Chains A and B, each alone.
Chain A
Amino acid sequence: MVDEFVSQGTYPTIVKNMNHWIASFLLLLFIGCSLFTTEDSQTDDAKLRERAMKLHREAIVIDTHNDVTSPMTDEGFDLGARDTSGKIQTDIPRMKAGGLDAEFFAIYVAAKYAKEGGAARRAMDMIDGVYEQARRHPESLEMAFTSDDIRRIHKAGRLAALMGIEGGHAIEDSLSALRQFYRLGVRYMTLTHTNTNNWADSAGGINNPGEKRHGGLSDFGREVVREMNRLGMMVDVSHVADETFQDVIETTQAPVIASHSSCRALTNVSRNLTDDMLKALAKNRGVVMINFYNGFINTEYAKPGTAAPEKAATAATMEMLIQHFEHAIKVAGIDHVGIGSDFDGVDGMLPGGMEDVSKLPTITYELLKRGYSDADVKKVLGENLLRVMAEVEKAAGKAQSSGAKPSFAKINATKSP
């Protein structure tokens, strides 16, 4: 669209200063060229798509947030067969079509478990759901626990299944429980979900005056971050309040991730990261994984400087989604952006062209189209997350070998600031 506009605008001014014949000749030549160019751009586009698909297949493609774990756990949904209900965005056939190599299944613990009890047990139920899929589909899925596992399983042509807890209340205020979750294979944890817990403020319910807040992380919350560092569990800042984000950056001794958050400068919602946060994340050597949810990427719906409307956006475009990748790359740098789809966690409210996991190659195509090099695209697709994960592992190894011991801090013994 942009190139066409420029051509139309400049053509007549050239014609004015030429005689009729020359003008006619040039016009014919131009039409010919235009035809040729159109044909050529079609070929170019096909070529680009082909190149994108090839690159996408080669690359290690990682998504750090998928909520299909909930129907897996609660409705017995099986990843093996293509879903025909139209309600599910993730299954093995479509993961294969989408060239996905590693998925972090969300071990989502709803806020109600914090109130009613059973949070740790609920997390165990969800963890079981993931292991069960790996048991049922060994030819397609393999449990992975390290960055090396992801590379190895990718080589074997299978999907690496990983787990991240969504909602820090899952540990029921116990660092011992946190360690058991690590032992069970959980490799990241969002410090909160939409609820402020006993040690960290959430971006959700920020206007709920009834909720006791800590001004970010409490002392125990900082201890949780340090213990995650020592274990080698990635600290995930998606869902936390801005103050919590700052406290995490200040506390952590390893890179952190935002497993499913986009850019607040484009879409002004509290779940997205401000430019300052993106910069802080880059400085921390971490990575922001762009969330595909319409409500987080629609640049019309929640313009910066204006409050987000009460009702979530139901529509957004691919263009808007890619703008978030571009913005995050521009602000944080190409080494600090990745994919955190939130498939099956947003009621299907996804941009046109990104309706399910099979559409992931479009990201590769769109990024190449915008001039990113193959190497840069590979970073966004997975290498950035792999680097962060490897650094988190290394930091943990170093902490442990230099004598850092498991923390037995109790929440009651540490005070909220």
Chain B
Amino acid sequence: MSQLPLSQSEAPPAPIALNGVAWMRQNLFNSWFNSVLTGICLVLIYLGVRGAITWLSQAQWQVLQVNLKLFFVGFYPPELVWRLWLIPALVAGLGGLSGSPFAPTSKRGLQGIAIGFLLFGVLVLALPLSWSSRLWLLGISLLAAIGFGTGQKIPALASWLPWLWVLSFPVVLWLIGGGLGLKSVESSMWTGLLLTLLLAVVSIFLAFPLGVLLALGRRSDLPVVRSLSTLYIEIVRGLPLIGILFIAQVMLPLFLPQRIRPDPLIRAIAGLVIFSAAYLAEVMRGGLQSIPKGQGEAAKALGLSSPLTMLLIVLPQALRNVLPAIVGQFISLFKDTSLLAIFSLVELTGVSRSVLAQPEFQGRYAEVYLFAGALYWVFCYSMSQASRRLERSGASRR
């Protein structure tokens, strides 16, 4: 806590190529206070590393090796797992196609990506996976690269991408659930990381239109509409998610006619949608507020009706402004799906608990929870980094 926190761009040009000692003097020991801090940090790191090494020396990773499939696809029928492999393949291909905003501009960036691919390949080969998994993983990464190359070659594809993404959604559901020529798999079999991803994606898709409507309602000049929207948003935002999931799991069946008994998955999605809609509404409201009034007035002057103005002029711009915030909302929703483990749904956290219930792996809490945590982390961190890149590349602005 001293001196200016200069950001990288504002900082005066640093002396080029400091040697090790000079660098340390400047960054670690430039005052007695900093030297003390460095000392404390070193002690902390030492203690942390020592603790990690002692733990690693007695950790048993067998629990993960045996249950690896369980973490990812849960109780999905093993002979049908190839269908689930097609999903990341599809997403990787589409992701590659829409990767242009992330395209490296410099030679160094390209090198970085190449090294990334190489490391991924080495990792895939080094990890104790089955050969079929390795082939799938390598194939998927190849597909992403091909998609990226195609996207660069044919920029005209860009305008079709949103539709392709929307179209991929039912395809993914079809691959998971079956039907229409594929063997159908019951929804109680959709478990593990698969369920976590499915819950998060489906819920955000369903919550989005509801959130937009609530945001518009809250800004409406009709008092009844405004107060009802505000009431909904504020009540939901004042409650913990676990309370809303309780309502969805326990109360929803009671609120519906006796013939209709939604299965736990539907109830879970209902709870997540009720919850996220209120938060998305607030995000969207911020976006709508950020659009200057002149935009709407100009559209009206051109003769557009109010709904068309909203749909064609204001909403698209608002959406672009709040895209990072929406990604943030998705990340927190992704983490929040873990709460469904409390309501005995077997998503990633639930799978961890059922793995820990296996008698031969009792007490291996640290290994299992660290692994599950690492899986969550990889997804959340890469999403937040991607969103940051998107923001910086200016794709969220014009």
Q: Do A and B come from one complex?
A: no
